[in-house]
Amino acid sequence: MKRKWQFIGTAIIAASILLTGCVSDSDNATGASSSKDELVLAVGAEPEAGFDPTTGWGRYGSPLFQSTLFKRDNELRPVGDLATGYEVSDDGKLWTVKLRDDAKFSDGEPLTAADVQFTFKTAAAGGSVVDLMNMARVEADGEYTVKFSLKQPQSTFISLLVTTGIVPEHAYSDDYAQQPVGSGPYKLIQWDKGQQLIVEANEDYYGAKPYFKKITFLFLSEDAAFASAKAGAVDVAYIPASFNKQSVDGMRLEAVKTVDNRGILFPYVPSGLQTEEGYPIGNDVTADLAIRKAVNAALDREALVEGILEGFGSPAYSVNDGLPWWNPDSVIPDGNPEEAKRILADAGWSDTDGNGIVEKNGLQARFSLQYPSGDMTRQSLALAAADMIKPIGIQIDVEGKSWDDLSASMYANAVLFGWGSHDPLEMYNLYSSSYQGEDFYNVGRYSSKTVDEWMNKALQAKSEEEALEYWKKAQWDGTTGLSARGDSPWAWLVNIDHLYLVKDKLDIGNQRIHPHGHGWPVTDNIEEWKWIE
C-alpha cells in the first residue's frame, strides 16, 4: 500500500506539471475550470490516429467534431440526426436517406448529399475499420438525398449510419485527421499531442446548442487522472476500479453500466487442423460440449463481480447483455458446481486415478486459458475462474502472453477476450461460420447451421427492429443457440462498469449502456451536460 501512495503522489506532481505547462494561449488551464461554461476532462486515451471518421474515429462515443446520419436514443433505438428519415427497398438492398437542409460545417459551408457520398466512398476505399464490404455504391440524388446500394440485404447497415461521422469533401486532405472540419457540436481549437486537446462549441451547429462553450481533454493514465481529481484539477476523470473506495472532496462516483465484457472463448473443434500460417487449430478437451457446459455452470459470475470488480460490474451471459437484441432466456443458473459435476459424469468424464482431474477415453480435462499479459483485470478473472473450476475436476492452466503470441496460439487454446458493441453485427462476426479466424472473430471455429440461419434472417430483415427476434433466436430458440444454454462456445464472465469521478454539481445526462472501452463513450451525450445550481 505504501508503494501505491508513493506512485499516486508522483502522479499528482506530474499532473500538476502538465496542467501548468500545457495551456491554451487564450485561457488559463491551471485546474478544473472555474468558468460555468468550460470543462476539463480526463476521460480516456488520446486518439493517436486523429479525428477522421472514415478511419474509425467516433465508433465508441460521439464523433464530437462531426455529425452522423443517425444516432441512438436512450433506449438505443436509431433516430435521425443529419437524416430526417430513410426507406429500404423491398429486396433490402437499396437504402434511401433524406437529409436535413440546414446543416453546415464549422467553416460555414453547407453539408449536402455529396459530402455523405464522399465520406462513405472514402471509408470504403481506405480499407478501414468501417466495414463497408457489403456496400456496392453510394450516390447523391440531388442535394439532400443519398442512396446506398448494398450487395446483400443488411439490417445492421443502420449501425454504420449511426457511427460514421460525415466529413466535408471540400475540406478533406491528408492532414484532415489532425485538423478536422465537421458539423458536430464542437470544433477543434488546439491539439498538443501527448498532452491535451481543446475544443470549442460550433456556432453553426444545427442541433441543441451545448451548454459548455469550451472543453479541455487531458490525456492522462487512469492513475494520473485520479490524482488530478484529488488535486481538484479536472471536472470528470475516468478511474480504475481499484480507486473506487477513495473519496474525493467535491466529487461523486458515477458507475456506468456497459457491455464492455470479458469472456472465455473455447476452441470449438477437435485438434488436427492448421491455419494457412501453420498455427494449430482446435482442442480435444474444449471441443467436448460437456466441458464447456460444465465450466459455464460452475462459474460464479456474481462472485467475480464482487471479488475482482469490487461490485462495479454485472454478470455476463452474452456479448450483448441488456441491448435491444439480447435474449434474456439465454441466461443460465450458475455458481453450481454440483450441476457441473453431473454434466461431466453424464458425458462420461470421471476421475479414475484420483488425481482431482476427470478424464475420458484417456484424455484429461485440462487446457490452457490465455490472456494478454499486462492486463491485470483479465489476469485476475482468469485466475479466479480457474480456481472456481478446479473443484469440478477440470484443470485450467492460466498463461499471460503478448498479443503477437496470442495471435498464433488462440486457435488451439481458450482465450480471455473482451468485446462489446452497440452493433448486433458483432454477434454475427463472433459466431457465424462465415467468420472463422478473421480479425480475432470466431477463432474457436464455432459453427451451427441453425444459428447461421437465424442470423442470416436477422441480416436480411429490412430494419433493425424487424431483425430483433431473429437475433434473439440465434442465442436461444427453445432448442438450441449460441448461448451457454445451447452450444456454449463461450463462457462469458462479467460486464465491467465504467467509473468516473464527476464534480458534484455537474450533470452528465442519461448515460446509455457503454460499449467496449475504446474512445470516449461518456461523451456520446455531451450536448446534455450542464451545471446544476
Helix (H, G, I), strand (E, B) or coil at 514: strand
60-174, CATH topology level: D-Maltodextrin-Binding Protein; domain 2 (3.40.190)
Task: Determine whether domain 1-46+185-257+498-533 maps to CATH 3.40.1160.10.
Answer: no
What digits encode the pLDDT tens for the residues 287-303? Answer: 999 999 999 999 999 99
Q: Say what the pLDDT of residue 224 is.
A: 94
Q: Say what the pLDDT of residue 526 is.
A: 93
Task: Compute the mean pLDDT over every residue in the chain, rounded to the nearest whole number.
Answer: 92
Q: Say what the pLDDT of residue 26 is.
A: 38
Q: Say what the pLDDT of residue 519 is.
A: 82
Q: Say what the pLDDT of residue 321 is.
A: 97
Are 39 and 136 in contact by the 8 Å Cβ rule? The answer is: no
CB proximity list for 203: less than 8 A, separation 6 or greater: none
Contacts 24+ apart (CB under 8 A), 171-176: 171/105, 171/107, 171/109, 172/118, 172/122, 176/50, 176/52
Are 117 and 138 in contact by the 8 Å Cβ rule? The answer is: yes
CB atoms within 10 A of CB 32: 24
Q: Say what the pLDDT of residue 244 is.
A: 85
Any idea where the domains of the chain sit in the sequence?
Answer: 1-46+185-257+498-533, 60-174, 261-496
Look at residue 241 and tell me whether its pLDDT is greater than 80: yes
Q: Stretch 44-49: mean pLDDT, rounded?
A: 92
CB proximity list for 177: less than 8 A, separation 6 or greater: 49, 50, 51, 52, 55, 57
261-496, CATH topology level: Dipeptide-binding Protein; domain 3 (3.10.105)
Q: Stretch 65-84: mean pLDDT, rounded?
A: 95
Distance CA 402, CA 386 (A): 20
What digits encode the pLDDT tens for the residues 377-434? Answer: 999 999 999 999 999 999 999 999 999 999 999 999 999 999 999 999 999 999 999 8
What digits encode the pLDDT tens for the residues 87-139? Answer: 999 999 999 999 999 999 999 999 999 999 999 999 999 866 788 999 999 99
pLDDT band at 34 (very low <50, low <70, confident <90, very high): low
Q: Say what the pLDDT of residue 436 is.
A: 73
Instruction: Quote the cell numbers at residue 475.
Output: 442465442
Distance CA 527, CA 533 (A): 18
Look at residue 458 and tell me whether its pLDDT is greater than 70: yes
What digits encode the pLDDT tens for the residues 432-456? Answer: 998 776 779 999 999 999 999 999 9
Q: Say what the pLDDT of residue 31 is.
A: 55
Domains 1-46+185-257+498-533 and 60-174 share a fold: yes
Helix (H, G, I), strand (E, B) or coil at 71: strand
What digits encode the pLDDT tens for the residues 141-190? Answer: 999 999 999 999 999 999 999 999 999 999 999 999 999 999 999 999 99
